[in-house]
Structure 1
Amino acid sequence: MHDKYPHLFSPLPIGKRLIMKNRIEMAPTAIPNVATMEKSMQNLISYETKAASGAGLIVHEGIAVKKDGGGGGEGPDFDDGAMLLDMVKDSEAVHRYGGLSSISLCHFGAWTSAEYAWNGKIYAPSEIVNPYGIMTTEMPESMIEDIAYCFGRAAEMAQYAGHDMIQIHGAHGWLFNQFLSPMYNHRKDKYGGSFENRARFAMLVLEQIRKRCPNLPIEWRLSADEHMEGGLTLEDAIEFVKMIEDKVDMIHVSSSTFWDPTCGTMFPSAFVPRGVNVKLAEAIKKVTKHPVAVVGRMDDLAQMDKLIADGVVDVVAAGRGFIADPKWADKAYNGKEDDITPCLRCNYCLPCAYDPAHYVPFHVHILRCTVNPVVGREWQKNIIPAGPSQNVLVVGGGPGGMQAALTAAERGHKVTLCEAKGELGGLINTIIGPSFKEDYARYLDVVKRRIARSENVEVKLNTTVTPELAMELKPDVVICAIGAKPVIPPIPGIDDKRVVTVDNMRAAKLGHRVVIIGGGPIGAEEALHLQQDGHDVTVVEMRHDVCLGAPYLHYQAVSKQFKEPNAPKALLNCSCSKVTEEGVWVKDKDGNEAVVPADSILMAVGMAPKADEAEKLRDCAKRFFRIGDCNKPATVAEATRLGYDVAFGL
């Protein structure tokens, strides 16, 4: 029995013969696109990495059972021996660490990528316009029966490849969800109309699977509430679970749908509370004898343990958490909680395929993570010792500099990390004020602890590195990560004493009426923070919406917050023409001007690299690199990735 989390790390029977070693499930997450010759190795190493995390159940990413029902790419082919070999390798990797291996089987239906549709047509339960603006074709009954046959065949192949169980992806607006939901199913035959009819396709699929694999445990993943007008409700989900009770072995509770642009509870943002789907899972558990798993911002270990102890759920599932830190379950088990890299809920890892305005098929999505620069390329980036140890000087302790220092140290180099201010973190220290940025604060604490524990990193705070100091330290390599400075546009009156720049906004005492010039990610998020703290905030933004340029789902989440009651005011398609004693003068696209009274004015129109300052250090070592904002304006993700890559290459 585990001392701290006895319920989370207790075994659980699944079906008639399986036992999960603990109550942690790795939810299916997409493997990135890589060159064909590299794909098998990337898949294997990615899942080997995740299997080593210590999760009790590893669910491999959703695989469409038909080429013309997937998200694009070459697509799966269950007659392809290479794919079967990959499936065998995946299951074996999981078994090496004592976990159960599963695979998520799906069909995209209306979401099928157009370039891989059958005869140029996208088939769905009914003729509907899909999110990309394409009219779908209603599936004939013969196609429905064929798809059900393909699910049975895919399940049989998964079992043959050594997987212990399968997951049927019946959630998130994909084909099963499209049949069940009256939003998409307008059929007049036996597959439409009543709820029983709309569930008929799911029952047919389960019949086909049981015919071929009578003893293979099945986990059904469902959206217990679509959270959309006219969509599936919790009551519908409860009815459906009762219908499949004797045909499945486990229920996996999610919610929402890809048809909702925010995907609000499917990929919970930082504005969504932890355990957002717990109440839905609790309701489902009351009507089934099978184990119930819940997914959706599950990252609080104490909460997880208590939910299981109280009988609310049986299993907790995480997807993005395993992307951020593939070893978090193992760290939790071994008492290393303070070294778990938290998921930031920034949704940088999710493909822009969910953005209808910038359509990119799933198969060209490259999986990346803000806090894990290795994900998606584990086969290339396994840390190996360097050659001869070098003296590495890292100038600047922001996210890129910290990552570079840690990676260089892990490879055996001696690192001196200099930071001009009194603490590490760079601009992260500026953005962690809001409550919805708490995960950034947790991330920063984790990285600081790792640096403090490293025997190969010496930190020098309150140290501005001049060429003279750099030469004195005699580095073999200089990695410059000194960041950027705020852009100050040539606006009349911008030197007013009320004007504050984003790098100083935490130290400044802002008045009640705050005008933020610039509604990008930093400006928009700070507006929400200040409004929550009781300020009267107005954002002036030249573009058509706030937070543009952020990962698509994060943009959607922030934009939605601006539509809530008591949200900051956003003056869109507007520019600041001048600042006077009266306030900030704003000009709209038609040239009309008006003044917005301001006690404080926050400039958030962008950052400019400290390129000249950085270049002064170029000749202080044989090798010199600029990373992060001092190279070009960069996100935290871009800074950490480049910091890792530069240090890895030393």
Structure 2
Amino acid sequence: MKLFDRTQIAGMKLKNRIVMGPMGTTGEADGAYCREAINYFEERAKGGAGLIITGANVVTTKYEARPCTELSNFHHVERLNMLIERCHHYGAKVCVQVSPGLGRQQFTDPFTPPYSASDCSAFWFPSLKCKPFSKEQIHDIVNKIGYSASLAKMAGADAVELHAYGGYLLDQFQSKQWNTRTDEYGGELKNRMRFTLECIDSMRKNVGTDFPILVKFTPVHRAKGGRELEEGLKMVKILENAGIDAIHVDVGCYEVWHKAISTVYEKEGHQMDVVGAVKKVVSLPVLGQGKMFDPEKAEKAVSDGKTDYIVLAHQMLADPAWANKVKKGNTMDIVPCIGCNECLLAGFSGKHYYCAVNPLCYAEKDYMLPEKTDIKKSVLIIGGGPGGMSAAITAAKRGFNVELWEKSSRLGGNLWPAGLPTFKHDVLNLIKYMERQILKLGVKVVLNKEAVEEEVLDGKYDKIILATGSKPFMPPISGIENSVPANDYLLGIKKPGKRVVVIGGGLVGCETAAYMKETSEKVTIVEMLEDILAISEHCLNNDQALRTMIKERNIDVVGSAKVIKITPDSVIYIKNDKEYTLECDTVIIASGYRSNNELEDKLQDKVENLTVIGDAGAPRKILNAIHEGYHAIRVM
């Protein structure tokens, strides 16, 4: 496979073309890398990545608070060196990304204007006008960028990458929509790129002529008023002429964050057309990304000359050993990324990374399973959804005798309605993976098995996991018998008519509406709250992607509406004290879920070791189910 060609970027020799993409990581109070981060990067090196690019390391906190790690003084070198050395032990090379800052995309508070190229609006708080950097401040940052690059080299890094993409600070200077300056840092393209070019020059002066410098940049924003590809291709030629050694291609900005950081709703390879366009106009090595987790498609992109390197980010969180598994041909054992962006949501909620499908992410040492012993414990798992499967896989890895009872004819639980819409098949990959592991590990699976109290007690199990999931909630609306829960339509049990009304504008309601619009003429969402997705706990980029889909599919939304009656051919609701009637031939209910936990009360005082996980405890997310299943067994 060309993915495993030995290659070179300037003087940096790489064992393959697989790159772990940059993702900001939390650090110690002083901005240095923490032990958890060092273990996290080491695990990806152990997993076979040829090149690891760290997340952004800010070079100063003089102008904005530190969003992640920092590389601004001698004392940051020690921990960075520890990280690099541990990665080197596995043959991986490390490229340290340095950043002048986030600018208008800095998340601070509604009262403190961030700095930017001009007095444009802050992204998170649009009523705030940014403070333009003075020329003296720009020169200060340029000097600090160079010094930070020298610290990276001192720490043992193999390369440095300039953070100049995605609507962050340097990209704000490069972009007409945010840069309205009239001095030498504004106006025509070469002036708007002056700050970036000065940073490259400062880095080169500090690291020497032979040390690789990469630049991550955005040739097209795919946002209203943003950069178009024509200008982006001119930019890459300017960057090439500046003497950099490789170009890392990105797409998007926070306004269309889903086009930059992939979600479940994006198609695979959604950035590769842009990567290929850049590759055609430069002689530099090109790093390309954009949901390239399928090994065959990654190999084809390299073989077809669209990119020189495949960059994987969230897939590396899901499975650090992606590269090793591909090399050995064990592709069916790759833990799939499902595009939920729980990782990103955690980071923007003040936490470290969490991965829905990998409970060990950022806890590689802390959450390792105990060593197997000669003690053979018996474990009964009731329910074969994501939580139950996670518990079964974990128990089998610990060497326990595992039985899994599932009342339906297949494993997967509510992953099936979540994954069957045409735009969410990433979730189906998770079912396939978990089923495969259960089969390989020899878990005893009993399908079409309803758990009853007496039989559970008769088994005298050492541990019982109640993973019975949840069922749709049907609200007390007059005529509710004229409607059907969303799951029946998502599973294909029911087929919609031409005019569909979905009652409930949460995550399930919106996805159901989008899916139904593929075959129905008219779809309307009726929501009690003012807006759809108002209380959905998902990341901004997933929210943007789903809202975009709702808009592009011309789905009507009626907010602040209370449904009072459902008839065989209409939905009657009240909005602003006025009654309205929507004619329809299909009514779908998406009003949430209720736990299937009837067994809990029956078993709780009769068994010593009962744990309730996932939706059986409270309807929540895939992350909660998988993690709770894992940890319930880990701590036994």
CA distance in 1, matches of 2:32, 2:249: 34
Q: Which residue of 2 aligns with 1:563?
A: 551
Q: 1:495 aligns with which of 471, 481, 486?
A: 481
Query: Is the aligned partner of 1:196 residue 2:196?
Result: no
Residue deviations 1:228-268 (CA, integer Å, cap 9, x gap)? 3332222222222222214200001111112x1x3132012
Q: Which residue of 2 aligns with 1:485?
A: 471
Q: Which amino acid aligns with 1:72?
A: R
Q: Which residue of 2 aligns with 1:102?
A: 95
Aligned partners of 1:69 and 1:112 also within 8 Å: no
Residue deviations 1:297-354 (CA, integer Å, cap 9, x gap)? 1122222212211222111111111111111111111111111111112222213777
CA distance in 1, matches of 2:584, 2:311: 47
Describe the shift of the 1:646–1:32 C-alpha distance in structure 2 as closer, same or farther (beyond 3 A): farther
Residue deviations 1:403-447 (CA, integer Å, cap 9, x gap)? 111112212222111111111111112222211111111110000
Describe the shift of the 1:639–1:105 C-alpha distance in structure 2 as closer, same or farther (beyond 3 A): same
Q: Which residue of 1 aligns with 2:419?
A: 432
Describe the shift of the 1:510–1:620 C-alpha distance in structure 2 as closer, same or farther (beyond 3 A): farther
Cα offset, 1:523, TM superposition? 1.6
Listed as ranges, the matches of 1:373-412 within 5 Å are 373-385=359-371, 388-412=375-399
Describe the shift of the 1:629–1:34 C-alpha distance in structure 2 as closer, same or farther (beyond 3 A): farther
Listed as ranges, the matches of 1:464-475 within 5 Å are 464-475=450-461
* Secondary structure of residue in 2 paired with 1:442: helix
Listed as ranges, the matches of 1:320-359 within 5 Å are 320-351=314-345
* Secondary structure of residue in 2 paired with 1:349: helix
CA distance in 2, matches of 1:383, 1:535: 52
Describe the shift of the 1:64–1:570 C-alpha distance in structure 2 as closer, same or farther (beyond 3 A): same
Q: Which residue of 2 aligns with 1:242?
A: 237
Query: Is the aligned partner of 1:11 residue 2:6?
Result: yes
Query: Is the aligned partner of 1:146 residue 2:140?
Result: yes
Residue deviations 1:14-57 (CA, integer Å, cap 9, x gap)? 11x22221111111112246788996220111001111121111
CA distance in 1, matches of 2:26, 2:392: 27
Q: 1:416 aligns with which of 399, 403, 410?
A: 403
Residue deviations 1:452-483 (CA, integer Å, cap 9, x gap)? 1113x211111111111112221011110111
Cα offset, 1:113, TM superposition? 4.4
Aligned partners of 2:486 and 2:512 also within 8 Å: no
207-216 vs 377-386, which deviates more? 377-386
Q: Which residue of 1 aligns with 2:82?
A: 89
Aligned partners of 1:393 and 1:415 also within 8 Å: yes
Structure 1 length-normalised TM: 0.92
Q: Which residue of 2 aligns with 1:46?
A: 40
Q: Which amino acid aligns with 2:250?
A: S
Describe the shift of the 1:38–1:627 C-alpha distance in structure 2 as closer, same or farther (beyond 3 A): farther
Q: Which amino acid aligns with 1:13?
A: Q
Describe the shift of the 1:208–1:501 C-alpha distance in structure 2 as closer, same or farther (beyond 3 A): closer
* Secondary structure of residue in 1 paired with 2:269: coil
Listed as ranges, the matches of 1:91-240 within 5 Å are 91-106=84-99, 107-114=101-108, 122-133=114-125, 134-214=128-208, 215-240=210-235
* Secondary structure of residue in 2 paired with 1:245: helix
Aligned partners of 2:24 and 2:68 also within 8 Å: no
Aligned partners of 2:103 and 2:115 also within 8 Å: yes
CA distance in 2, matches of 1:417, 1:639: 15
Aligned partners of 1:467 and 1:620 also within 8 Å: no
Cα offset, 1:561, TM superposition? 1.1
Residue deviations 1:131-177 (CA, integer Å, cap 9, x gap)? 13332222111111110111111111101111100111110111110
Q: Which residue of 2 aligns with 1:3?
A: none
CA distance in 2, matches of 1:230, 1:338: 42
CA distance in 2, matches of 1:580, 1:178: 54
Q: Which residue of 2 aligns with 1:537?
A: 523
Describe the shift of the 1:504–1:256 C-alpha distance in structure 2 as closer, same or farther (beyond 3 A): closer
Aligned partners of 1:513 and 1:599 also within 8 Å: yes
Q: Which residue of 2 aligns with 1:357?
A: none
Describe the shift of the 1:505–1:318 C-alpha distance in structure 2 as closer, same or farther (beyond 3 A): closer
Describe the shift of the 1:31–1:558 C-alpha distance in structure 2 as closer, same or farther (beyond 3 A): same
Aligned partners of 1:72 and 1:113 also within 8 Å: no
Aligned partners of 1:178 and 1:185 also within 8 Å: yes
CA distance in 1, matches of 2:525, 2:107: 38
Q: RMSD value over aligned CA atoms?
A: 2.3
* Secondary structure of residue in 1 paired with 2:231: helix
Q: Which amino acid aligns with 1:511?
A: G
* Secondary structure of residue in 1 paired with 2:577: coil
Aligned partners of 1:269 and 1:345 also within 8 Å: yes
Q: Which residue of 1 aligns with 2:287?
A: 293
CA distance in 2, matches of 1:37, 1:204: 25
Aligned partners of 2:145 and 2:202 also within 8 Å: yes
Query: Is the aligned partner of 1:448 residue 2:444?
Result: no
Q: Which amino acid aligns with 2:85?
A: E
CA distance in 2, matches of 1:500, 1:184: 46
Describe the shift of the 1:499–1:204 C-alpha distance in structure 2 as closer, same or farther (beyond 3 A): closer
Cα offset, 1:70, TM superposition? 5.5
633-642 vs 133-142, which deviates more? 133-142
* Secondary structure of residue in 1 paired with 2:630: helix
Describe the shift of the 1:177–1:35 C-alpha distance in structure 2 as closer, same or farther (beyond 3 A): closer
Aligned partners of 1:71 and 1:108 also within 8 Å: no
Residue deviations 1:276-301 (CA, integer Å, cap 9, x gap)? 22121222122221101111111222
- Gaps (5+ residues) in structure 2? none
Q: Which residue of 2 aligns with 1:554?
A: 542
Cα offset, 1:620, TM superposition? 4.5
Q: Which residue of 2 aligns with 1:520?
A: 506
Describe the shift of the 1:592–1:352 C-alpha distance in structure 2 as closer, same or farther (beyond 3 A): farther
Q: 2:592 aligns with which of 580, 593, 606?
A: 606
Aligned partners of 2:32 and 2:79 also within 8 Å: no
Aligned partners of 1:385 and 1:412 also within 8 Å: no
Aligned partners of 1:225 and 1:232 also within 8 Å: yes
Describe the shift of the 1:603–1:112 C-alpha distance in structure 2 as closer, same or farther (beyond 3 A): closer
Q: Which residue of 2 aligns with 1:267?
A: 261
Describe the shift of the 1:70–1:13 C-alpha distance in structure 2 as closer, same or farther (beyond 3 A): farther
Aligned partners of 1:520 and 1:604 also within 8 Å: yes
Describe the shift of the 1:619–1:220 C-alpha distance in structure 2 as closer, same or farther (beyond 3 A): same
Query: Is the aligned partner of 1:251 residue 2:264?
Result: no
CA distance in 2, matches of 1:285, 1:505: 41
CA distance in 1, matches of 2:557, 2:222: 26
Aligned partners of 2:500 and 2:587 also within 8 Å: yes
Q: Which residue of 2 aligns with 1:316?
A: 310
Listed as ranges, the matches of 1:629-640 within 5 Å are 629-640=615-626
CA distance in 2, matches of 1:407, 1:613: 23
CA distance in 1, matches of 2:110, 2:146: 22
551-560 vs 33-42, which deviates more? 33-42
Q: 2:73 aligns with which of 68, 71, 79?
A: 79
Q: Which amino acid aligns with 1:437?
A: K
Q: Which residue of 2 aligns with 1:279?
A: 273
Aligned partners of 1:270 and 1:437 also within 8 Å: yes
